[in-house]
């Protein structure tokens, strides 16, 4: 039943899409019930009774924040209740996650996270302050965007040239990431491990801070999600050197895959997003949120908006999403062990 095989064997983009097939029966049931479950459950739980706070544990301007704001607009319409996005950045997503963990478990405070704080935190933290599977309930895995490596105008303009120069001068280049121990950081370290190059890591508090550092030549390269990196690439301010996908993106057909650029087969990574509530949140509330989320993600306008940002939505149920996160933990565990990455 595994969605994800070991990182040396799997096709991450294809496997990410498999969550759609695996959740199909349950998802169709959720869609069928979406029009009646919220009404019945709301009558019993009085949810939502006030503004919903959607906490994003990363700064504004990054791929997760962009997706969260689009989702919040749709959720507000479906539930007929205000939904505000609250950025609580820091500690690779742990600060915002902890705030949700400690909040009242009534569904009015939700976490819009990524693999970084939903799947990787417990594997990498030396002294973890929360256990995702014990302290949260997954509402849904909602989608994501492929990982890319980009460079500023001062850096080599092909991935091969960058790696060749980095091997020749191991202290020459620096790359920025959204933070120590994030999914993007781990993806880049896995890439460097497989390519045999050394590039110094400079962590920032989110992609929104890493981009100015790239453009200001504080770093020569950066790892990001395609949806977040695309405007810089299209505007000629920076160049995406390669995409961690099994095929090129229709939104950036000039960008080669990592395999095409450097001959590293099977190197694929998707920065996925998920929604969670504090443990103890009533099942009736989770059901309302899951059914509402299913409706939001089926809105053609939202799908098209996210598509233009190189983000893909996916279908899931609370159960299938939880299983997916568990399998992501198992998939990245050997990568963490090989790279030796840890966060304080």
Strands 136-151 and 239-243: what pairing?
Answer: antiparallel
C-alpha 184/C-alpha 193 separation (Å) is 14
Do you find a cis peptide bond into 343, omega within 30 degrees of 0? no
Q: What is the pLDDT of residue 86?
A: 97
Q: Which residue has the tokens 């040396």?
A: 8
User: Beta strands 200-203 and 83-87: pairing type?
Assistant: unpaired
Taking residue 200's Cβ as centre, other Cβ atoms within 10 Å add up to 13
Given this chain, do its domains 12-145+272-339 and 146-262 carry the same CATH topology?
yes
| Other beta carbons within 10 Å of 120 | 27
Average pLDDT of the chain to the nearest whole number: 87
Q: What is the pLDDT of residue 27?
A: 41
Indicate whether this model's pTM tops 0.85.
Answer: no
Listed ranges 39-53, 90-104, 303-317; the one with the highest mean pLDDT: 90-104
Q: Is 230 strand, coil or helix?
A: helix
Tokens, residue 293: 């989320």
Dist. CA 18–CA 59, nearest whole Å: 30
For the chain, domain boundaries: 12-145+272-339, 146-262
What does the CA dihedral 109, 64, 273, 42 come to, rounded to 10 degrees? 30
Question: Cα–Cα distance between 262 and 244 in angstroms, integer?
Answer: 11
CATH of 12-145+272-339, one of 3.50.50.60, 3.30.160.270, 3.40.190.150, 3.10.20.30: 3.40.190.150
- CA 71, CA 67: separation in Å to the nearest integer? 6
Give the separation between CA 199 and CA 98, rounded to whole angstroms. Answer: 32
Q: How confident is the model at residue 18 (pLDDT cuts 50, 70, 90)?
A: low
Taking only the tens place, the pLDDT of each residue in 29-85 is 444 444 444 544 444 568 999 999 999 998 888 888 989 999 999 999 999 999 999
Of all residues in the chain, what percent carry a pLDDT higher than 70?
87
In DSSP terms, 114 is beta-bridged to 273
Residue range 157-186: mean pLDDT, rounded: 94
pLDDT at 222 exceeding the cut of 90: yes
Class of the CATH domain delimited by 146-262: alpha beta
| 119-154: pLDDT as tens digits | 999 999 989 999 999 999 999 999 988 999 999 999
Secondary structure (3-state) at 299: coil
């Amino acid at each position: 039943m595994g969605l994800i095989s070991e990182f040396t064997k799997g096709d991450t983009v294809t496997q990410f899409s498999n969550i759609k097939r695996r959740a199909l029966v349950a998802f169709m049931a959720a869609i069928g019930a979406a029009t009646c479950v919220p009404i019945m459950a709301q009558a019993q739980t009085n949810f939502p009774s006030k503004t919903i706070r959607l906490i994003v544990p990363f700064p504004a301007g990054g791929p997760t924040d962009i997706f969260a704001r689009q989702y919040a607009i749709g959720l507000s319409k479906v539930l007929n209740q205000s939904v505000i996005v609250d950025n609580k950045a820091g500690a690779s997503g742990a600060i915002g996650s902890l705030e949700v963990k400690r909040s009242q478990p009534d569904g009015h405070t939700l976490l819009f996270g990524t693999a970084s704080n939903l799947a990787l935190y417990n594997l990498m933290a030396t002294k973890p302050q929360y256990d995702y599977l014990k302290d949260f309930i997954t509402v849904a895995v909602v989608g994501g965007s492929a990982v890319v490596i980009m460079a500023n105008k001062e850096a080599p303009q092909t991935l091969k040239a960058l790696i060749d120069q980095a091997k020749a001068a191991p202290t020459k280049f620096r790359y920025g990431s959204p933070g120590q121990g994030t999914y993007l950081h781990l993806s880049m370290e896995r890439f460097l491990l497989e390519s045999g190059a050394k590039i110094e890591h400079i962590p920032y508090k989110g992609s929104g801070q890493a981009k100015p550092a790239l453009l200001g030549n504080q770093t020569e390269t950066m790892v990001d999600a395609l949806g977040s990196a695309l405007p810089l690439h299209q505007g000629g301010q920076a160049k995406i050197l390669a995409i961690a996908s099994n095929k090129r993106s229709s939104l950036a057909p000039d960008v080669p895959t990592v395999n095409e650029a450097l001959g590293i087969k099977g190197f694929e990574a998707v920065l996925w997003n998920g929604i969670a509530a504090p443990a103890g949140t009533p099942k009736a509330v989770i059901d309302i949120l899951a059914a509402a989320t299913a409706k939001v993600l089926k809105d053609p306008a939202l799908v098209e908006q996210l598509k233009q940002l190189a983000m893909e939505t996916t279908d899931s149920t609370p159960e299938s999403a939880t299983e997916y996160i568990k399998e992501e933990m198992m998939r990245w565990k050997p990568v963490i062990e090989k790279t030796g990455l840890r966060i304080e």
